[in-house]
């Protein structure tokens, strides 16, 4: 059957040339894929981002309150 996105040349082919392969690999969560130094740095960055987001939310809230008071 020739349809959208299919040429007449490929209309009679069935299946795929790719073999299906599923591999399950277990991951040990107790060992880290990155050095401890990197993990500590990432934790510090995450903490700072959380503080920054909180500051952004507070700042936005204060701007909304100021706009409501002016009206």
Question: pLDDT (tens digit, 9 = 90+) per residue, 10-30?
Answer: 555 566 666 666 777 776 666
**Contact of 39 with 31, CB cutoff 8 Å:** no
Q: How far apart are the first and last CA of the chain?
A: 67
Predicted confidence (pLDDT) per residue in 29-63, tens digit = 666 677 888 889 999 999 999 999 999 999 999 99
Non-local CB neighbours of 32 within 8 Å, separated by 6+ positions: 39
pTM over 0.85: no
| Owner of token pair 């790719």 | 18
Domain membership of residue 67 as a residue range: 32-71
Report yes or no on 44 lying in a domain.
yes
Report yes or no on 61 lying in a domain.
yes
User: Measured in whole angstroms, how far is the alpha carbon of residue 18 from the centre of its chain?
Assistant: 28
Q: How many domains does the chain fold into?
A: 1
């Amino acid at each position: 059957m020739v349809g959208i996105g299919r040429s007449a040349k490929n209309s009679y082919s069935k299946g795929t040339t790719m073999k299906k392969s599923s591999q399950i690999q277990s991951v040990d969560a107790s060992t880290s894929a990155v050095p401890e130094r990197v993990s500590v740095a990432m934790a510090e960055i995450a903490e700072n981002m959380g503080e920054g987001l909180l500051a952004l939310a507070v700042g936005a809230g204060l701007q909304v309150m100021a706009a409501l008071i002016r009206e």
